[in-house]
Chain A
Amino acid sequence: MNSTAVTDLNSDDQVAQWRADFPILKTQVNGHPLVYLDNGATTQKPQVVIDAVSHYYENTNSNIHRGVHQLSELATAAYENGREQVRRFIGAASVKEVVFTRGTTESINLVANSWGMANLKAGDEVLVTEMEHHSNIVPWQMVTERTGALLKVVPINDAGEISLDDVRGLINDRTRMVAISQLSNALGTINPVKEVIEMAHQAGAIVLVDGAQAIAHIPVDMADLNCDFYAFSGHKIFGPTGTGVLYGKEALLEAMPPWQGGGDMIRIVRFEKSTWNDLPYKFEAGTPNIAGGIGLGVALDYVSDVGLEKIAAHETELLNYASRKLQELPGLKLIGTAKNRASIASFVLDQLHAHDLGTILDSEGIAIRAGHHCAMPVMQHYGVAATARASFAFYNTFSEVDRLMDGLNKAVEMFG
């Protein structure tokens, strides 16, 4: 991918060139060219990532960190290069701060279990928001229940935004952890995480940012954001499934006990007492997803080559266009109308349940998500069981939004 070559192209040509990198986008579904608008659930993979994964299996497959033979050396180097690519992408100070996990869910569970069990006690408070994904609610519920700490919730308004005044009011000297998503998967809201981090730090609390959705849409830099933990999944940023990252500040990770025990995470094992490996390996017990880590590194380099600024600019135009078109449809209500939004249009229709809509659109080759999006408190806030969600990536086009609208009109006609 040569990013300088595309800068002079007009927008349509540029998107066409990006699309050519993703083989699956040429697929036909139910006799129609695929319109993939379920990027919030998972993103498609560019050829370079697919090639990196198969190249590994075809040429260097081997276990890492333990081999004395050449393949193992090659595999270890490629996997650790993936970690360095992650470090660079998120602006971490050191690869010691980059822990590979299975995904966002595992990253958050790691912090809740390791940091939470070691640091939370009765009377302490953990603050989340009403718009969190279940994976940034349930681990905190579990650990606060076990430690006697209290889980508190920042409410959202009807546009799907939190207010910094509410956050200020809820943070106090008992607050130990604030866990907040940077970009809501159910609403598309971009949260003012930088301000929240400053507020939390002033009160002596630490902050975990759930970057699962944000990572493919908003440029992030750990040094600038200054969060304590940042969690994301590889599969939502054009990388392989089963990969993820927990970024943590070195001093915090250093002080935390291991979470899972096993191979790779130890220095010396004695039946009397074992000692732990250095960061980040202390948190990486067992054989990891080696091909996945390599593929993730390649995916992040690919995104850097395209440029997140360019991605964000195109997606903003797409989202604005889609929001305008959607709101022209009688009986359609957007769920999530925050001033600051990215990549996600969530909506409900009178007379037409999201699930039926999903099936009808699928018959037109259009993939959207229908359901509660693992954010049941958000559904409860709006008094709906489910929403339909179109979520965009940089390879989506304006004509795909038009296809979505055609499908919606057909569905409304059928049930009208």
Chain B
Amino acid sequence: MTRHLLIGSGVAAVAAAETIRKMDEQAVIELIAQDPAGYYSRPGLAYVLSGEVNEKMLFPFSADDFRRLGVRLHSARATRILPAQKMVELDGGSTRLAYDRLLIATGARAIRLNVPGADLEGVFKLDTMEDARRLIRAARPGRSAVVTGGGITALELAEGLAARQMNVHYVLRGERYWPGVLEESESRIVENHLQRMGIRLHHKQEVAEVLANRGKVGGVRLKSGEQIPCDLLAFAIGIEPQAELAREAGIQCDRGILVDAQMQTNLPGIYAAGDVAQVYDETTGQYVLDSLWPEAREQGRMAGRSMAGKAGAYHKTIPINVTRLAGLTTTIIGRVGKGHDADLLQIARGDSETWRQMPDTLMAQTGFEVNHLRLVLGADHILGALVMGDQRLSSPLQKIISRPVDIRPIRARLLEPGAPIADILADFWNELQTSSPTEG
């Protein structure tokens, strides 16, 4: 009987457990979870903050589901990996668990804000279930909040707090929102929407200090010297893989834990998957980090397969996220941006390093404030796309880019000035469907 030990209770670990069980009914599967809330939809935390769903809905698996999977849960923190003994130490104490195969799926954590006063009561991040609960308790209608940072989570914080009737100030270091991924016109679309929601933007500013009022947050001082009185400060300035356990055990790491196509680390029998893993991307030839739920699941599955002794190789898929940016549903696929983002120290949640690998190439775009479509064109293929508003082309584009489909028949037309690119693509897709309907 093989003993499988999984560190972490996120989607990567759960997907690995499911896969191992499918392939080996006898295997012992043990899971170490430090988060008392266990396994939940972390992207869903934003919807709990905005009030669209209640907290209870975020748990995809019941205790029964775990029992049926035959997974033994340990509520503890893994504090040391001892590769020579094939053991993992729990809670810094004498309890140790033995393994034949080990998966490190410890995810990533929010990078801390490093300014005076950042440890005051009333400073929040949105990382875990407990963070969401605390933030919701503190978000009182009619009071003021300052949000700082970049990427999707900063926006979710600003919008979520505005949905809770707070007066929200959004402080950005840069000249515009999410410059590493969005074009200038797209940033402006988002910012206009935020302003319409009543959110006040402060560009080229930085929180220099959190000011106390009776021991709690009472305001912030910006670099310019301006002060904004507020009752809470929420930040999202990027995330970092939780790779310390691996580093200390002598496992090869760069920014995350380096893994091969089987999700194995440089130490045989030890695997990594999800936000903590840095995986090889064939399209760019680099080892990259993602913080995407479906990618974490796929990696967990592949790790599970390898741990169960089955052959297979992980091929990084084209990263995609469908999210809302200031109320506008937006799909981001493949390589769409480049450039520096002063608001993020690393990638954010729901983010991919691959999105920033846009080559110097041609772009076709169309649309205005509500519906906007941008394509990044290579010689034969579409390399990336951003779809804002009307989502009818979102799924077709995901397929056209992932497969990838040869677009030479329409490329020249897409690049004509003022081309109706949505219609050209829709016709092209419909024709593809008729010629090979099964591939849809």
Instruction: Decide whether A and B assemble into one complex.
Output: no
